[in-house]
Amino acid sequence: MTPAEQMHAQMLAQLGLTEDQFKAMDPAAQQNIEDKIREMIKQQVETSTDKRTGMITDKSA
């Protein structure tokens, strides 16, 4: 697993989901979970003491 995949699995576990459960969801539900994960990561970075430039990047554009 890549570090990103590990983080995704960890965040799903925090939400009480497995990767298989996530994959079985409809696209709208998956997007909702992805939004929650994105917010969780953003909060972690914002509360972190590591303030390097580029820690949060919007790659959706």
Q: What is the pLDDT of residues 26-60, one digit of tens each?
A: 999 999 999 999 998 888 877 876 666 665 666 66
The secondary structure of the chain in percent helix, strand, coil, rounded to multiples of 5, reads 65, 0, 35
Per-residue pLDDT, 51: 62
pTM of the model: 0.69
The tokens describing 37, both together, are 């994960």
Indicate left, alpha or beta for 20 from its phi (over 0: left) and psi (-120 to 50: alpha).
alpha
Q: How confident is the model at residue 15 (pLDDT cuts 50, 70, 90)?
A: very high
